[in-house]
């Protein structure tokens, strides 16, 4: 028998639907309250997903005091993550929050310190890590077939007409989306960023108020280099949301289209102007514990709350991906290379 956990959902906008759909299939968790500064949004979600017995309110502290949840799910906008997380931790809750961890690195550091002082888990949804294809690629890289990884390139080109807060947000691509891609680069390489140069711009014809395109080069640990190119304002020939990747090791290269398409070549014979290369398979690989997108992250988080283990996307690790984002932002603003601290 697993222990049933009481959960409070804060922020009942677009992404909360993905959470609530996932929670329908996860046993051992009951939603005791829905909080949103727009009461009608909270009520709509509670009714839509059949939690009509749950408390609906605009006030987080009241909800925490009345329902005494074990965990808080934070699906609010980035600017609210700091307050929601600190309030939830003060009330003795574990927190799983939407990406990005925080709206500034200073807020993130404060949140990480608060979680450590409280002895509670604070983890972040990085759902793209919990994708079957990236796990297959990671397994292939870890097998050592390519040798030591030296270079990662990723392209992210999606013409997304969101409407809403993103259209008016500064550094929208870097802060709201590139966090996923940068986090994937850390996961795939096992390396952390040490410095970055980033150039950001808003292309002609953009429907965003601020820069929606960026290129960035990261110096990573172990001598690895990661190059990022991306735009949320590119019409035609979209990449997947996972991006298109080229990863080079000492003995070969793998291409990943961000879906189920992999191509890999390794050196068969050296000595000529070009080496002779052979195509190798990226073998099928399944890890049901680490797949399922949002559902996978939520399931692992709840299990860790029960057994005291640490989830993969715990804040102490995730802040290193966030530091890449804010390093890139600082570089784009200053047109200079920015160093990134090892612990975020």
Ligand X SMILES: NC(=O)c1ccc[n+]([C@@H]2O[C@H](COP(=O)([O-])OP(=O)(O)OC[C@H]3O[C@@H](n4cnc5c(N)ncnc54)[C@H](O)[C@@H]3O)[C@@H](O)[C@H]2O)c1
Residue among 12 and 178 whose Cβ is closer to ligand X: 12
Residue among 98 and 192 whose Cβ is closer to ligand X: 98
Rounded distance, CA 207 to CA 203, Å? Answer: 9
Which region among 32-40, 138-146, 265-273, 304-312 touches ligand X (by CB under 6 A)? 32-40
Residue among 179 and 254 whose Cβ is closer to ligand X: 179
Six token digits for residue 89: 């931790």
Query: Are the C-beta atoms of 35 and 65 separated by less than 8 Å?
Result: no
Rounded distance, CA 15 to CA 26, Å? Answer: 17
Which region among 9-17, 113-121, 265-273, 278-286 touches ligand X (by CB under 6 A)? 9-17
CB atoms within 10 A of CB 339: 12
Compute the least distance from the CB of residue 180 to ligand X, in Å.
7
Give every strand in the sheet of 94-97, ordered side by side: 55-57, 29-35, 5-10, 71-74, 94-97, 122-124
- Segment 161 to 180, residues that bind ligand X, using CB under 6 A: 164-165, 176
The helix (H) or strand (E) run that includes residue 134 is: helix 132-142
Q: Which of 5, 7, 8, 10 binds ligand X (CB under 6 A)?
A: 10
The helix (H) or strand (E) run that includes residue 332 is: helix 315-334
- Segment 102 to 161, residues that bind ligand X, using CB under 6 A: 125, 127
Which region among 31-39, 107-115, 217-225, 250-258 touches ligand X (by CB under 6 A)? 31-39
* Residue 220 binds to ligand X (criterion: CB under 6 A): no
Residue among 127 and 240 whose Cβ is closer to ligand X: 127
Size of the site for ligand X (CB under 6 A): 23
- Segment 50 to 89, residues that bind ligand X, using CB under 6 A: 75-78, 80
Provide the mask over 176-215, with x wherever binding to ligand X is found by CB under 6 A and - wherever it is not.
x---------------------------------------
Phi-psi region of 72 (alpha: psi -120 to 50; beta: other; left: phi over 0): beta
Compute the least distance from the CB of residue 37 to ligand X, in Å.
4
Six token digits for residue 43: 């009520």
Token pair 């890139």 is found at 328
Q: Which of 2, 3, 4, 14 binds ligand X (CB under 6 A)?
A: 14
Q: Which of 5, 7, 8, 11 binds ligand X (CB under 6 A)?
A: 11
Work out whether the CA dihedral 304, 305, 309, 314 comes out positive or negative: positive
CB atoms within 10 A of CB 181: 27
Beta strand pairing status for 71-74 and 5-10?
parallel
Compute the least distance from the CB of residue 77 to ligand X, in Å.
5
Query: Are the C-beta atoms of 69 and 8 separated by less than 8 Å?
Result: yes
Compute the least distance from the CB of residue 78 to ligand X, in Å.
5
Residue among 98 and 312 whose Cβ is closer to ligand X: 98
Six token digits for residue 85: 């997380």
Binding site for ligand X (CB under 6 A): 10-15, 35-38, 41, 75-78, 80, 98-99, 125, 127, 164-165, 176
């Amino acid at each position: 028998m697993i222990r049933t956990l009481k959960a409070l959902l804060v922020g009942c906008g677009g992404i909360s639907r993905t959470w609530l759909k996932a929670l329908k299939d996860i046993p051992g968790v009951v939603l005791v309250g829905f909080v949103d500064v727009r009461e009608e949004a909270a009520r709509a979600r509670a009714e839509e997903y059949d939690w009509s017995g749950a408390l609906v309110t605009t006030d987080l502290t009241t909800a925490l005091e009345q329902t005494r949840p074990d965990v808080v799910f934070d699906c609010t906008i980035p600017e609210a993550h700091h307050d929601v997380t600190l309030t939830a931790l003060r009330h003795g809750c574990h927190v799983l929050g939407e990406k990005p961890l925080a709206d500034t690195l200073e807020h993130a550091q404060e949140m990480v310190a608060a979680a450590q002082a409280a002895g509670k888990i604070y983890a972040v949804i990085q759902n793209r890590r919990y994708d079957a294809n990236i796990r297959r690629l990671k397994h292939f890289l870890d097998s050592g077939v390519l040798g030591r990884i030296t270079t990662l390139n990723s392209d992210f080109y999606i013409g997304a007409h969101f409407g809403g807060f993103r259209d008016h947000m500064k550094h929208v691509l870097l802060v709201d989306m590139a966090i996923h891609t940068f986090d994937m680069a850390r996961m795939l390489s096992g390396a952390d960023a040490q410095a970055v140069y980033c150039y950001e711009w808003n292309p002609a014809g953009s429907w965003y108020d601020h820069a929606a395109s960026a290129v960035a080069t990261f110096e990573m640990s172990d001598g690895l280099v990661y190059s990022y190119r991306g735009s949320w304002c590119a019409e035609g020939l979209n990449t997947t949301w996972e991006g298109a990747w080229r990863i080079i090791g000492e003995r070969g290269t793998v291409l990943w289209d961000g879906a189920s398409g992999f191509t890999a070549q390794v050196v068969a014979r050296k000595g000529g102007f070009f080496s002779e290369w052979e195509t190798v398979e990226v073998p099928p690989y399944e890890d049901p514990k680490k797949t399922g997108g949002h559902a996978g992250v939520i399931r692992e988080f709840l299990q860790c709350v029960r057994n005291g283990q640490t989830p993969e996307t715990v804040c102490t690790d995730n802040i290193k991906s966030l530091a890449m984002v804010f390093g890139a932002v600082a570089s784009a603003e200053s047109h200079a290379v920015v160093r990134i601290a090892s612990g975020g």
